[in-house]
Amino acid sequence: MPKANSNLLNLKKDYLFNEIEKKVLLKKKENKKILNLGIGDISLPLASSIIDAMKLAIDEMRDKKTLKGYGPSDGYTFLKQKILDNDYKNLDIDIDEIFISNGMKYSISNISDLFSQNSKVGIINPAYPVYVDSNIMGGRKNQIVEIPLIEKNNFQPIIPNETLDLIYLCSPNNPTGLAYTKKILKSWVDYAIKNRSLIIFDGAYEAFIRSENIVKSIYEIDGAKDVAIEMRSFSKNAGFTSLRCSYLIVPKNIKTHENVSINSLWKRYVDTKFGGISYPIQKAAEATYSQRAISEIKNTVDTYMKGAKFLYENLKNLNFECFGGQNSPYIWCKCPDNLSSMKFFDLLLEKNIVTVPGIGFGRHGEGFVRFSAFASFETINEAINKLKNI
């Protein structure tokens, strides 16, 4: 038998999330109605304009004249052009810098393959677990430097004293629900320019930004085009969590230490490892930019954000100390009485309320749980009423 890739054996066993699932299943077996405020998945139907576009694209497959075979591994130009004209207008992005992907999870977990195993990697903590796991898989277990997102720093990432090669940032952040200030983001861009680092900027929750002073794209910061890759997804705004479609911007002028273009390295990588996204899904993604879809998507995101506001205000009224919810669908709630995040999770589960214990997102998530406003308004309301009795 072949030996296992030892890097994969270095991954932490998924004990915590398995344990949570087991506990929730046990609760369900008691025939209790579960109020799931833990989910990071969508709960509202997709816009009908998106479904219509997908159906039309599937119908094209019936006809020899419109039939599509293998598509470009980096995506069709019709979708890239829409992204450019709508999301990156005036930001000096070239169409060849856009790569269509089958969800950000793919791009986040594979992008680090482009870089040496010795790269020093700064990763925010708490964070989406894929940043850490993919770097462990890439043999960088001992190369990871935590960038704490803690209350003392208003959950903003503070520049470390050491030099990092790769930096993972995410704003608005999952799980803290808070976006970075422009000043903080600028300090990272300046740091990356000075230290010749590369920033991987996760903008999965960009559509939820409501505050005027929060930047939606890192490229709004001067110099970012020389040091940052930005990723965005159709998952959370347009409901593509099952359809799978996202994109990333890899500026052509960013080079590795050996002076190799990162854009051409990524192109080479996806040409070998990835078959592109299906035509109907890319047509569905293109449709998200139609006037009809824009207003349908706005309604959906507004509904989630109304839930987030309601959840945040009610948790505050109940004297919970909480953060986020203004520019993201997540509320980061401090565990009362110094309870551990797992203990508080258990306490809430006794009331049939499911959350995610902060420790699941990294050690700096201890002492918090994440509430999600992707749940229906009725579920949120019922959960609040139950919390009133805790």
- Give residues in contact with ligand PLP (CB under 6 A): 40, 103-105, 128, 170, 174, 202, 204, 233, 235, 241, 246
Q: What amino acid is encoded at 304 in this protein?
A: Y
CA-closest candidate to residue 199, choices 179, 171, 176: 171
Q: Residue 144 pairs with which residues in a beta bridge? A: 121
State the nearest-atom distance from the C-beta of 81 to ligand PLP, in Å.
21
In whole angstroms, what is the distance from residue 328 CA to residue 305 CA? 7
Q: Which is nearer to ligand PLP, 165 or 202 (CB)?
A: 202
Q: Which is nearer to ligand PLP, 235 or 341 (CB)?
A: 235
From residue 52, how far is each of 60, 245, 300 by CA, in Å? Answer: 13, 17, 17
Q: Which is nearer to ligand PLP, 171 or 352 (CB)?
A: 171
State the nearest-atom distance from the C-beta of 209 to ligand PLP, in Å.
14
Q: At 333, phi and psi to the nearest 5?
A: -110, 130
In whole angstroms, what is the distance from residue 313 CA to residue 225 CA? 38
Q: Which is nearer to ligand PLP, 103 or 148 (CB)?
A: 103
43 CB neighbour count, 10 Å cutoff: 18
208 CB neighbour count, 10 Å cutoff: 23
State the nearest-atom distance from the C-beta of 357 to ligand PLP, in Å.
16
Q: Which is nearer to ligand PLP, 236 or 334 (CB)?
A: 236
Q: Which is nearer to ligand PLP, 138 or 172 (CB)?
A: 172
User: Which H or E run includes 123?
Assistant: strand 121-125
State the nearest-atom distance from the C-beta of 87 to ligand PLP, in Å.
15
CB-based contacts of 90, cutoff 8 Å, min separation 6: none
Q: Residue with structure tokens 């879809």?
A: 293
Q: Which is nearer to ligand PLP, 128 or 384 (CB)?
A: 128
CB-based contacts of 285, cutoff 8 Å, min separation 6: 79, 100, 234, 238, 240, 245, 277
